[in-house]
Every structure is written in structure tokens, then in C-alpha cells.
Amino acid sequence: MNSTINKKVKLISLGHIDYQKAWKKQEKIFNKIINVKIQNRKDNSQIPTENYILVCSHPHVYTLGKSGNEKHLLINKKIIKEKKLEYYKINRGGDITYHGPGQIVIYPILDLENFFTDIHLYLRKLEEATIRTLKYFNIDAGRINKLTGVWVDTESSNPKKICAMGVKCSRWVTMHGLALNISTDLSYFNNIVPCGINDKAVTSIEKETNKKISIDIVKNEIVNNLSKVFEFELINK
């Protein structure tokens, strides 16, 4: 257990960034935090671990989680290359998803020993912060039992996913995170079985509200809600 609790979180905005570059930035921070924890245990020391939230968007890319089924990518590598898309097998949980322009991606790299040691609670809190954010835009969103992420029309026969989630956690340090559709071109989801779920649709904030929505406003709302839900102090870096 981390006896020197640090509930400060550094916010880093990466802008519109290549997926692999953002992944490498995540890995660097993730490994730095884990190395501090290993050294603390080795030396019986109490150096506080840092926490970060990276905010960005990506060019068109499909990513497949470590437990995902490659058959859920419905186009071949030749088409991916022709359309100048990208595809990566990555080290998060979950199946396949899409990232692209008009979507906000949040990567919390937190030492959960600064907060709580429960990965399921962590996912529920990510969902809660997203649900609160969508409420700001008058979107009634919620959860579906046994399906991670945030959905709209949850009580209907045709619920739609608006926010996908997939995380990695090692030594209670997290990486990867959530992707919230704002003005996303949803046709790109037709090339995959999103999150391995073939009987549910996807949607976006703009589709649900029929309004143009500023990504900066969404960013401010979701980061603010994350700070409330996790009860951390936000530091702009």
C-alpha cells in the first residue's frame, strides 16, 4: 500500500496526435510510476507516486485489445492501407474499437493506491464521470448490465454506445481509458464489430443533440467530472 497518498493529478493535453505516439507517451509515464513503486518496496521508502490524465484525439485508427477477436475487424489490411487508416493490437482489455477526429480520448494514468484498489470501481467511476458529462448536454445516458461503457436509450430495444472503455492495470497503475464520440463520423464503425458487440449501434453527442458541440467544452466538462468523481486536485501542466 502506498503510505504517502498523492491525490494531485497532472492534466496534459496532447491535441490531435498519432495513436502510436500517444501510446508511447502513456507507456513512458506508466513505467515511470511503476518504477517508483518498485523502488519504494525495494528500499522500504515512501516516495509519492504521480498521477496523470492525458487528453487527445487521434487520426483514424482501429485498436484491438489483448483479449479481442481479430475477426471483428471487417476489412482487410489492404483496404486499411488504401484508405490510410491504422490498426494496432494493443495491451488494454476489451475488444476492437475505433478512434478518429471528432472524438475525445481520455487516458488516466493513475496509481489507484492513491485512491482505492478496485478495478471494477475504477471503471464504474469512469462511466459515472461520462454520464455526468452527457447530462450537461441534456443526454440521458447510463449503463447496461455486464457491458462496460456508456450508452443512451438503455431502456429501449436499441441502446446505442456513445463512450467506449478499455484499460490496462498493473501494480494498481492504470493506462488506456475512454473514448467519447462528439462529432465522430460513425460510418467508420461499420468496418468493425464495435467492442465485439454485434447487435447494438453507436452514436455521438452531436447525433443525439442535433447540435454542433465544441470539443473544448466537452473536454472541460469531463475532466471536471473526473476530478469530482475521483476526488482529486487537478494540476494543469
Catalytic residues: 195
DSSP per-residue codes, 95-159: -EEEE-TTEEEEEEE-BGGGT-S-HHHHHHHHHHHHHHHHHHTT--EEEETTEEEEEESTTSSS-
The Cα-based distances of 20 to 17, 24, 111, 215 in angstroms read 9, 6, 23, 22
End-to-end CA distance of the chain: 27
Which residues, 6+ apart, have CB-to-CB distance to 22 below 8 Å? 14, 54, 56, 58, 105, 107
Residues in the chain: 237
